[in-house]
Structure 1
Amino acid sequence: MEKRPTAFSYTHKILLFVWLCQASCASADLTLNFYSTSCPSAELVVRNTVRSASNMDPTVPGKLLRLLFHDCFVEGCDASVLLQGNGTERSDPANQSLGGFSVIDSAKRLLEIFCPGTVSCADIVALAARDAVELTGGPVVHIPTGRRDGKVSSASNVRPNIVDTSFTMTEMIKLFSSKGLSLEDLVTLSGAHTIGAAHCSAFSDRFQEDSKGKFTFIDTSLDNGYAEKLMKQCPPGANPSITVQNDPETSFVFDNHYYGNLLAHRGLFQSDSVLFTDSRSSKQVKNFAEDQVGFFESWVQSFLKLTSIHVKTGDEGEIRAFCPTANA
């Protein structure tokens, strides 16, 4: 059963996390309410844009959250993943399935009307992901802003800096550590898979096609019933555009059900399943599966760290006029 602390204790902890963020993020020149005078409506515009898009398409929140991860892990949180063109991050096959770009572009267009040349695409990406979590039932996170947009975007930087769904625990720990994120952050941020969907190819390594043209599952860590369901949804020769929900039971709700799935051996990716089968992370998985409030509190801390990875501030980078292209 979910443990529920008093409203005071939960609020007190959230305020403490915000205070700690203010202290820790100051060195990076990110501050809360960065746009309070230059563009007071900035965060409201982003929030309303995300809400409107999500009401029309419930898959939007998951896409925005994934977009943030792919941005921050490559070149830092600088909107480099938004840049279009040959050889950019966005052109790499690993990023071909990313979505949510139109939501960011819509928010940017509005902000350029109200506050031209003021709000960075990098901040919009971070705020949109933050709002996506809250709008689907997740915790409220007050993130500092002031990020600048990067000018460099290279496809060659993508693969060495993002988690592959077949990664081992050791590989994930090494990558997260290189971004200043701990093992606890790794387990917590993996909870992003409580919303969103994946193409069949993302977990095809868990199955093998037999001589009769049918799939059999070769990953014995998977629950048999769940594996059978996945094979029906993604048979050999299936349309590559088919997607499967990360969490089939509460697909569009940000909750702790993801961790319950791991306990039941129903993690969609190998990189999900290993969180419970590895002794280094299994205890935290169990704790989060039993305590949604605890997961939410940890999410606030880890999300603040994620959105502060290698940010550009001050005179670094630029404020793009149009998110898919660098300024002339």
Structure 2
Amino acid sequence: MGRGYNLLSILVTFLVLVAAVTAQGNRGSSRGGGGRRPRVGYYGNRCRNVESIVASVVRAHVRSNPANAPGILRMHFHDCFVRGCDGSVLLAGDTSERTAVPNRSLRGFDAIEEAKARLEVACPRTVSCADILTLAAREAVVLTGGQGWRVPLGRLDGRISQASDVILPGPFDPVDKQKRDFAAKTLNTIDLVTLVGGHTIGTAGCGLVRGRFFNFNGTGQPDPSINPRFVPLVQNRCPLTGDASARVDLDDGSVGRFDTSFLRNVRSSRVVLQSDLVLWRDPETRGIIERLLGLRRPSLRFGTEFGKSMVKMSLIDVKTGSDGEIRRVCSRIN
């Protein structure tokens, strides 16, 4: 009986230790993710005002400079497509992602830093910069007239940011390559077309698009697939000997408004990026555009689909548990 009692005592002690370790792990996971995927309402009572604080800051920055809205939306895309949605694009440094050529024109960093500073006062060491950027991207859409969506939260911030990792879908990519790039991030063709529809706000550098409007493939002529009535408009905005850093609207006729105007322009061949124009030539992407415009059944609601695709994108390779941290300042690791 003494031996049985000892074995029972050892077993009870073991179970108590397991319970203690599990409880400690659960307490850690409530702050750091604990391996769980982000979810709506993640912060709960620990930071009840997280969404309103981010919204207030983004609203002020967009009011002072409307270009911050497309800038923040684009920043979120660039973050998620490189090492996942971990805020790595926010890190500063001589060789960080911010220094890569596609990221040098990003804007909105000040808005993210201000939101982080306010949240560090309201809820110290609780809300990640990756979550702030994800929320800010939604606010950028809402502030320009788009439809909102519920944002899952609970990401952690990554600790690595290297310019050499920045390989993004390009402005001259054919449709097949765009499909492959999005599929590699678990995004389907509807996600591709819908997220490209985000070009309804924002601009492109004249140096990036000028060739198509003056000397397409060395022909000395504009790209023949561009609507001929659209060519002189862009040529006037981006003259051949003009400033290459000047900007031209991605969505002609609906600047700063989040709507389906851009998709209608794709249909009419009135877009400045080659990667956008080719979406109308491919039967699959063309069919999706028609459904988003209500020209084909079953139709798709652009605002609803955009929100769905943004949620999917925001869950790409998120950091949880020991994979990341909650930065105190978004531009540097702790």
- TM-score, scaled to structure 1: 0.86
Matched residue, 2:174: 168
| 8 Å Cα contact 2:252-2:262 kept in structure 1 | no
| 8 Å Cα contact 1:29-1:314 kept in structure 2 | no
| 8 Å Cα contact 1:29-1:313 kept in structure 2 | yes
Q: Aligned equivalents of 2:134 and 2:91: distance in 1?
A: 16
Q: Aligned equivalents of 1:71 and 1:83: distance in 2?
A: 11
Matched residue, 1:195: 201
Q: 1:282 to 1:293 in 2, by over 3 A?
A: closer
- Of 130, 136, 159, the match for 2:138: 130
Matched residue, 1:95: 103
Say which SS state the counterpart of residue 241 (structure 1) adopts: coil
Q: Which amino acid aligns with 1:271?
A: S
Q: Aligned equivalents of 1:260 and 1:209: distance in 2?
A: 25
Q: Aligned equivalents of 1:200 and 1:290: distance in 2?
A: 32
Aligned length: 297
Q: CA deviation at 1:149?
A: 0.3
Matched residue, 1:272: 276
Q: Aligned equivalents of 1:69 and 1:224: distance in 2?
A: 31
Q: In the alignment, does 2:261 pair up with 1:254?
A: no
- Of 34, 39, 46, the match for 1:38: 46
Gap regions ≥5 residues in structure 1: 1-25
Q: CA deviation at 1:216?
A: 5.2
Q: Aligned equivalents of 2:182 and 2:36: distance in 1?
A: 19
Say which SS state the counterpart of residue 244 (structure 1) adopts: strand
Matched residue, 2:311: 304
Say which SS state the counterpart of residue 191 (structure 2) adopts: helix
Q: Aligned equivalents of 1:260 and 1:97: distance in 2?
A: 26
- Counting aligned pairs with the same residue, the percent is 38
Gap regions ≥5 residues in structure 2: 1-33
- Of 229, 236, 240, the match for 2:240: 236
- 1:18-55 CA deviation, whole Å, 9 max, x = no partner? xxxxxxxx985211111222111111100011111111
- 1:134-169 CA deviation, whole Å, 9 max, x = no partner? 12111111011001000011111112xx11100000
Q: Aligned equivalents of 2:120 and 2:244: distance in 1?
A: 37
Point out the more displaced range, 126-135 or 199-208: 199-208
Q: In the alignment, does 2:83 pair up with 1:75?
A: yes
| 8 Å Cα contact 2:85-2:315 kept in structure 1 | yes
Matched residue, 2:119: 111
Matched residue, 2:65: 57
Matched residue, 2:11: none
| 8 Å Cα contact 2:214-2:240 kept in structure 1 | no
Q: Which amino acid aligns with 1:79?
A: G
Q: Aligned equivalents of 2:277 and 2:35: distance in 1?
A: 37
Matched residue, 1:186: 192
Q: 1:217 to 1:103 in 2, by over 3 A?
A: farther
Structure of larger gyration radius: 2
Q: 1:243 to 1:279 in 2, by over 3 A?
A: same
| 8 Å Cα contact 1:151-1:326 kept in structure 2 | yes
Q: Which amino acid aligns with 2:186?
A: G
| 8 Å Cα contact 2:205-2:244 kept in structure 1 | yes
